[in-house]
Amino acid sequence: MNQHHLRRGVFVSLLGGKFLLGFVSGSVSQRSAQAQVPGVGGALGSVTELGSSIMEMQQHVDGLQKNLATLKKVQAALGGGK
């Protein structure tokens, strides 16, 4: 029975040591993540396109508001305002 506990202890120690060695070597050789902007693709590309579309829509809305303000001035000048 004592030999069984010794084997089990050695086995668990070896597994723990193997895990620890892998963890340490993985953290030492870890590379930092970098975005690949030139060929934008995936989720980042979709978000970028969405942002560009929103900016274009905002510019169009701003232009329409300016046109509406101009039309209201013309209408008021012609005496058509109520």
What pLDDT does 40 receive?
52
Long-range Cβ pairs for the range 71-80 (8 Å, 24+): none
Q: What is the pLDDT of residue 51?
A: 87
How far the first Cα of the chain sits from its last, in Å, is: 103
> Using an 8 Å Cβ cutoff, are 43 and 51 in contact?
no
The CA distance from 31 to 18, in Å, is 22
Alpha helices in the chain (DSSP H): 2-28, 42-77
Q: What is the mean pLDDT of each successive set of 10 residues along the chain, which is 82 residues long?
A: 86 91 79 60 74 92 93 87 57
pLDDT of residue 25: 81
Rg (CA), the chain: 34
